[in-house]
């Protein structure tokens, strides 16, 4: 786990897009002013209307791309309803983009527990105090909730809230985009093949 608190796996030859993503993320970690793991997460609601917001990538390996959130938030409900999502990374300092999309799994309880336990105490209290995406009558109501949960968990471990966990996007496609002069950008898309390997295609920019 580095400064982003992000975990990643070891990759074999079959995992080329994940390995390449790891290299680009390492470059971004070296060059971006902050949050190299920040990513736009797109979901769809029950009417098919898209929705997008930023999250922090907290793990990736050949199984997929993991982030954590409140499952009762708008994104949580949208993913639990549709079971699919997309992500788009943009690293301005590198002029690079990575897009991926696919079905979504819920991470194992043990994995979510381990990540939750690694978070600062204040963030763990915050996960209990924030009814994410629901109306808040004023800042004071949030501060009161934080004080309440701080008192309730004054001693001992803070358990993971039952509504807070991680989602893993299992990409069917991953596209890498790199800025080139005169807008003749490099685009390479990896699509999952039948045998579990990846097909690689260059696209017009």
Ligand X SMILES: Cc1cc2nc3c(=O)[nH]c(=O)nc-3n(C[C@H](O)[C@H](O)[C@H](O)COP(=O)(O)O)c2cc1C
Helices (H), 32-188: 74-82, 109-118, 121-129, 139-152
Does residue 6 belong to the site contacting ligand X (CB under 6 A)? Answer: no
Least distance between ligand X and beta carbon 201 (Å): 31
Does residue 35 belong to the site contacting ligand X (CB under 6 A)? Answer: yes
In whole angstroms, what is the distance from residue 104 CA to residue 198 CA? 19
In whole angstroms, what is the distance from residue 127 CA to residue 100 CA? 27
- Window contacting ligand X (CB under 6 A); options: 13-21, 70-78, 178-186, 194-202: 70-78
User: What DSSP state is assigned to residue 108?
Assistant: P
Q: Which is nearer to ligand X, 29 or 133 (CB)?
A: 133
Give how many residues touch ligand X by CB under 6 A: 16
- What residues from 74 to 103 belong to the interface with ligand X (CB under 6 A)? 74-75
Choosing from 6, 42, 55, 142, the residue that interacts with ligand X (CB under 6 A) is 55
Residue whose token pair is 């260059």 = 202
148-158 burial, b at 16+ Cβ within 10 Å, e below that, comes to ebeeeeeeeeb
Does residue 136 belong to the site contacting ligand X (CB under 6 A)? Answer: no
* Binding stretches for ligand X (CB under 6 A): 35, 38, 51, 53-56, 67-70, 73-75, 132-133
């Amino acid at each position: 786990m580095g400064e982003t608190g992000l975990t990643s796996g070891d990759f074999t030859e079959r995992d080329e897009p994940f390995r390449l993503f790891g290299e680009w993320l390492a470059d971004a970690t070296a060059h971006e002013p902050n949050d190299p793991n920040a990513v736009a997460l797109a979901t769809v609601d029950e009417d098919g209307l898209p929705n997008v917001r930023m999250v922090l990538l907290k793990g990736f390996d050949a199984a997929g791309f993991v982030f954590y959130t409140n499952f009762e938030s708008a994104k949580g409900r949208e993913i639990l309803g549709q079971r699919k999502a997309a992500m788009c990374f943009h690293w301005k300092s590198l002029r690079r983009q990575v897009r991926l999309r696919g079905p979504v799994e819920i991470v194992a309880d043990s994995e979510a527990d381990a990540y939750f336990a690694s978070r600062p105490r204040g963030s763990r209290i915050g996960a209990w105090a924030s009814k994410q995406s629901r109306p808040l009558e004023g800042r004071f109501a949030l501060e009161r909730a934080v004080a309440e949960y701080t008192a309730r968990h004054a001693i001992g471990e803070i358990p993971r809230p039952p509504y807070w966990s991680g989602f893993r996007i299992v990409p069917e496609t991953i596209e890498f985009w790199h800025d080139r002069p005169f807008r003749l950008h490099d685009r390479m898309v990896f699509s999952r093949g039948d045998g579990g390997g990846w097909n690689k295609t260059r696209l017009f920019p």
